[in-house]
Amino acid sequence: MNKFYSLSKRSFAISLILSAFVFINSAYADAQTDSMQRAMLNMQNQIQQLQDKLAESQGQIEELNHEKKILAAENEKLKAQISQMAANTPAASAATAENTNGNTDGTSQAVTMKTETGGATATLSPAKKGTVAKANLPAVPADAQKLYQDSYALLNKGDLDAAAKGFKSYTSKYSNNALTPNAWYWLGQIQYKQNKFQDARISFLNTAKFKDSDKRADALYKLGVTSKALGDKEKAKKFFDVLIKTYPTASSSALAKKELQSL
């Protein structure tokens, strides 16, 4: 009887130990599973962040390539102008003609924003359907030509502050000639690179007011990007829409379409 009782006690003790062991193993397994799930979730978040950064980098590369094309075209224009000046021929206007297909659905896509004078407003409307922009701005005086070329040379050298000072001086002294929209555009580009988004918005708006300028499409794109940087997504969408419908074949329109997808 005593042996049976002793064996029962041992069996019960072993059973308790086995139960405790199973419970501990189960708790450990649950803890491991939970830890692995957290690790997997963390890894998925890191992968998503990397994908977002990659998409952002690709967008930045496309924009840099676009700006590179603009700079190359500007350099070619300036080379032609310098050659003509050296040959004592009249300076060619830098504002070249650009085809516009107009608003395909016939609806108004006007965007109103405040100008640099504060209370006044300026309305940006698409060019008329089927029209071709003509460089009908006043000719560029020789002293204005030199100021622009000097400022542009500083920009190419990377001296942004000096270049901005030069372009700002140009827009003050020569408010309405063939290079005025270009000067406003490059001033805006510099301000944008320096994260002076409010100043850049004003400069790009002043560029876009010149409907015959070949910088207008790019200025509309930059107005959209600048509005986005300022947190005004609705205004950004409107500028991108104006650009796409007014200049559907412009390279900046392709960039605008991608921007719209991210808004």
Higher pLDDT, 75 or 129: 75
pTM over 0.75: no
Quote the pLDDT of residue 253: 92
Tokens of 158: 């990377």
Other C-beta atoms closer than 10 Å to the C-beta of 109 total: 17
Other C-beta atoms closer than 10 Å to the C-beta of 164 total: 24
Quote the pLDDT of residue 220: 96
Q: Which helix (H) or strand (E) holds 263?
A: none
Exposed e or buried b for every residue in 223-240, given b needs 16+ CB within 10 A? bbbbbbeeebeebbbbbb
Tokens of 250: 């412009």
Quote the pLDDT of residue 12: 62
User: 28-47, pLDDT tens digit by residue?
Assistant: 666 677 777 777 677 777 77
User: 220-239, pLDDT tens digit by residue?
Assistant: 999 999 999 999 999 999 99
CATH superfamily of 93-262: Tetratricopeptide repeat domain (1.25.40.10)
Tokens of 184: 């406003």
- Inform me whether the pLDDT recorded for 112 exceeds 60: no
* Domain ranges (residues) in the chain: 93-262
Over residues 211-223, the mean pLDDT reads 94
- Inform me whether the pLDDT recorded for 130 exceeds 90: no
For residues 154 and 187, give the distance between their C-alpha atoms in angstroms, rounded to a whole number.
12
Task: Report the share of the chain in percent with pLDDT over 70.
Answer: 54
Residue 141 DSSP class: P
**End-to-end CA gap in the chain:** 84
